[in-house]
């Protein structure tokens, strides 16, 4: 296939202009939060998780009647929902603060985002006073 040299030059110039425009474009207006990283490093999350797991084991190991165990499980489920709501609220509040500071329009969890966006996880961790655990050395 033969292409017109003038057309080729126009395409190259247009492509170059678009690339320059993209490189000079403002930073993304989408913030990303790595919720998995937060849950692995946040003592408050870990404490809730450990306490609820221990309480669930205690209920199952107890010699209570089936009815008492069912009531205890229902209470534990309510405590789980309250803890989940509290933790989500804390992360959401911190993410909103970071988004406002960085002039971001949206904040998403990193879990299903293939590429793009600005990782604001370290900023959220700072607000929540989370210190990242170092990776074990090989």
Structural domain includes residue 103: yes
The secondary element (H helix, E strand) that includes residue 81 is helix 66-102
Q: Which domain holds residue 60?
A: 22-127
Q: Which residues contact 76 (CB under 8 A, 6 or more apart)?
A: 52, 55, 56, 59
Structural domain includes residue 67: yes
Give pLDDT tens digits for 29-77.
Answer: 999 999 999 999 999 999 999 999 999 999 999 999 999 999 999 999 9
How many structural domains does the chain have? 1
> How many other β-carbons are positioned within 10 Å of the β-carbon of residue 38?
22
Give pLDDT tens digits for 75-88.
Answer: 999 999 999 999 99
Average pLDDT, the chain: 82
Structural domain includes residue 5: no
Which CATH number goes with the domain that contains 55?
3.30.910.20
Residue 131 pLDDT grade (very low, low, confident, very high; cuts 50, 70, 90): confident
């Amino acid at each position: 296939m033969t292409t017109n040299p003038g057309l080729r030059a126009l395409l190259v110039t247009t492509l170059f202009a678009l690339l320059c425009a993209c490189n000079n474009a403002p930073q993304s207006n989408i913030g990303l939060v790595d919720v998995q990283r937060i849950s692995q490093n946040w003592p408050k999350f870990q404490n809730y998780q450990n306490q609820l797991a221990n309480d669930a084991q205690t209920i199952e190991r107890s010699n209570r009647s089936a009815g008492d165990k069912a009531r205890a499980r229902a209470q534990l489920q309510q405590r789980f929902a309250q803890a989940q709501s509290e933790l989500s609220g804390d992360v959401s509040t911190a993410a909103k603060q970071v988004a406002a500071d960085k002039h971001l329009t949206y904040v998403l969890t990193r879990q299903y985002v293939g590429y793009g966006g600005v990782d604001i996880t370290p900023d959220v961790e700072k607000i929540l006073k989370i210190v990242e655990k170092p990776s074990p050395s090989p």
